[in-house]
Amino acid sequence: MDGTRFDSGRNTSGEDNDESSIEESVGIIEGSALVSKGSRYLRAEGLLGFSAALPTIMLTRLISGKGYGLFALHDIRKGTCLLEEDALVIVRSLSGESRLERCTRIFTMINDLSSKKLDLYSSLHYEIQTLDAESRDYVRRYLIRKQYTPVTLPAALLDHLKLLAIFKTNSVGSKTGTGVFATYSRINHSCTPNIDNSHIDDHELLYAIRDIKAGEEITTSYIDGLTFPKAWRAKTLARWHFVCKCAACAGPQAVEHARRRSMIAQGFVELDQGMREPTNIATSHSKQSHDKLNQAESVAQLCIEEGLVGTDLSRAYRLCSECALVVGQPLKAIEYARQAYEVEVICVGPRIKTKDTVQTWLHQLEALVVEKPRRARHEIEKRRKAAEKIEHEALKRSKKIVDEEAVARQNREAEELEKGAEQRRARQGEMAARVAESNRVAGEEARMEEKRVKEVERTAAKKARRFIRLKGAEAGMDVEKVEALAAQLKGDELIELASGLAEVEDVAKVKILFEQRLQSMLGCEANA
């Protein structure tokens, strides 16, 4: 590939750049001379026919032999949308299609182009070596079908081989098919690119994945697997008959680049095992799990040092998040998930939504770490109210029984007056026994409910005490002080402190909250 609409004022933060700053942010360069600059001059229908009156700027960097290239005319912020472009030609993927049928469809799409778009397409750099003998044969058979004569066939064959070579050299794959773009197809490759791309239907979007300085060339990656060995990258790039001379391949620090990328690739392989599902916060705290977290953090740091700040860095942060969760550091897990999400948005833009994104993982973590304590408090309050209701009903039934028995007693006393004092005392004793039994049953029910309520409260207090110890350890607090604080607090005080800690994500704020409660505890002891 060698280097329509530029909109360098759009970025992922939702802010718009000043109009003057987006008017001349990106330029197209051929050889060593700037052909045009400014988003207003880079329309697809006018890319080749520039007026001689347009300004020409000479840059110190030469790209001779690379055809066109894109350079930044002004500083460009990370996350800026550099390009939004529709394909000149896009060929849908069809299952079971032969190579001859695909070749025919490519020529049909090219023939349907307007004259201006055909000029744009024909101006793209190409390598005729990308066409093998079989492809050349398909072109010949296609032209024979079109009834070209032996006289006109040679010239038509040369023209059509060029058109097919342009497609082979410059095509970019997407979810819907393979396309050639007037501008994106001109961007050169680097093993440390400064942009990433995404697709919305047939629409190509390019985003700056790091800050780009004025005069710096805008580069993308033709391949996946930038952490693979240099030999593998070179073999893959040979498809475009392209020899990469970026700093990672041919610079003075190429050996150091190769070492770091090997460490990143090895780290990804080792960390990917068994780290794909959300797990309970209280899972393994073993030394091995902590080593995995340290390894994931090292891989992320290596990605930053190596300049692989796109999807590789997002993947590293995702693994850091998963490892932090396994070792029982949920707040750190959430923070790494947020960093992974921020990098993902910078790479593909805020409009790309898929089922398995870092944002989904972030939402799972927040639900696991934040919502669980809230549900526990709600359940405790629900059970307490249920116990109070049962106790109230028991007392009400007991009072009703007593009232009914009192009326019956009065009636029996009236009868006993006639039967004699002895029968009256006997019946009164029987009635007293029944009342006592009723009170005993009601009291037993009340004690059982009180016992259940206390058990629920003890369970909640234990969970809150464990959570306080965990947060104290994460904040680096003295274990004995935390234990003393947890031992002094009772019931609702424990639950209140645990709830407050659960809502604080910053470790420093957690530590401050602990120190405040400890000072309060010491003050109470001094007053006592």
CATH number for the domain harbouring residue 199:
2.170.270.10
Query: Could you give the CA distance from residue 20 to residue 147 in angstroms, rounded to a whole number?
Result: 55
Token look-up 């080792």 returns 270
On whether both 377 and 494 belong to a single domain, the answer is yes
Query: Could you give the CA distance from residue 54 to residue 39 in angstroms, rounded to a whole number?
Result: 13
Alpha-carbon radius of gyration of the chain: 38
Average pLDDT of the residues in 132-138:
85
Give residue 528's pLDDT band: very low, low, confident or very high (50, 70, 90).
Answer: low
Strand-strand pairing, 188-189 and 217-220 = parallel
Give domain status of residue 235, yes or no.
no
Query: Could you give the CA distance from residue 377 to residue 496 in angstroms, rounded to a whole number?
Result: 9
Q: What percent of the chain has pLDDT over 70?
A: 79
Indicate if the pLDDT at residue 256 is higher than 90: yes
Amino acid at 203: H
The neighbouring-strand residues paired with 195 are 208
Give residue 297's pLDDT band: very low, low, confident or very high (50, 70, 90).
Answer: very high
On whether both 103 and 252 belong to a single domain, the answer is no
21 vs 395: which has the higher pLDDT: 395
Give domain status of residue 389, yes or no.
yes
On whether both 451 and 502 belong to a single domain, the answer is yes
Lowest-confidence segment of 14-28, 361-375, 499-513 by average pLDDT: 14-28
Expressed as residue numbers, the domain containing 121 is: 92-180
Last residue of a domain, one of 180, 212, 229: 180
On whether both 68 and 212 belong to a single domain, the answer is yes
| pLDDT for res 350 | 77
On whether both 18 and 123 belong to a single domain, the answer is no
Query: Could you give the CA distance from residue 313 to residue 368 in angstroms, rounded to a whole number?
Result: 24
Give domain status of residue 422, yes or no.
yes
Lowest-confidence segment of 106-115, 300-309, 477-486 by average pLDDT: 477-486
Indicate if the pLDDT at residue 213 is higher than 70: yes
Give domain status of residue 358, yes or no.
no
Q: Diameter of the chain by CA atoms?
A: 144
Query: Could you give the CA distance from residue 161 to residue 139 in angstroms, rounded to a whole number?
Result: 7
Query: Could you give the CA distance from residue 371 to residue 369 in angstroms, rounded to a whole number?
Result: 6
3-state secondary structure of 71: strand
Lowest-confidence segment of 168-177, 253-262, 438-447 by average pLDDT: 168-177
| Count: domains in the chain | 4
Amino acid at 177: G
Give domain status of residue 233, yes or no.
no
On whether both 339 and 210 belong to a single domain, the answer is no
On whether both 345 and 255 belong to a single domain, the answer is yes
Give residue 303's pLDDT band: very low, low, confident or very high (50, 70, 90).
Answer: very high
Query: Could you give the CA distance from residue 420 to residue 247 in angstroms, rounded to a whole number?
Result: 119
On whether both 393 and 502 belong to a single domain, the answer is yes
| pLDDT for res 24 | 45
402 vs 524: which has the higher pLDDT: 402
Give residue 2's pLDDT band: very low, low, confident or very high (50, 70, 90).
Answer: very low
- The mean pLDDT of the chain is 76
- Is residue 322 classed exposed, middle or buried when 0-12, 13-18 and 19+ CB atoms within 10 A define those classes? buried
What is the torsion angle, in degrees rounded to the nearest 10, for the CA atoms of residue 161, residue 162, residue 166 and residue 169? 70
Indicate if the pLDDT at residue 14 is higher than 50: no
On whether both 503 and 415 belong to a single domain, the answer is yes
Amino acid at 270: E
Token look-up 């695909």 returns 102
Query: Could you give the CA distance from residue 179 to residue 92 in angstroms, rounded to a whole number?
Result: 9
On whether both 259 and 378 belong to a single domain, the answer is no
333 vs 13: which has the higher pLDDT: 333
The neighbouring-strand residues paired with 92 are 177
Give residue 377's pLDDT band: very low, low, confident or very high (50, 70, 90).
Answer: low
Give domain status of residue 268, yes or no.
yes
Lowest-confidence segment of 57-61, 110-114, 263-267, 414-418 by average pLDDT: 57-61
Cβ 218 vs Cβ 195: under 8 Å: yes
Indicate if the pLDDT at residue 366 is higher than 80: no
Rounded to 10°, the helix 421-474/479-488 angle is: 160
On whether both 106 and 60 belong to a single domain, the answer is no
Which candidate, 202, 203, 138, places its Cα nearest to that of 165? 138
Give residue 488's pLDDT band: very low, low, confident or very high (50, 70, 90).
Answer: confident
| pLDDT for res 359 | 77
Give domain status of residue 467, yes or no.
yes
On whether both 42 and 105 belong to a single domain, the answer is no
3-state secondary structure of 271: helix
Give domain status of residue 76, yes or no.
yes
Torsional class of 428: left (φ above 0), alpha (ψ -120 to 50), beta (otherwise): alpha
Cβ 279 vs Cβ 325: under 8 Å: yes
516 vs 119: which has the higher pLDDT: 119
| pLDDT for res 283 | 46
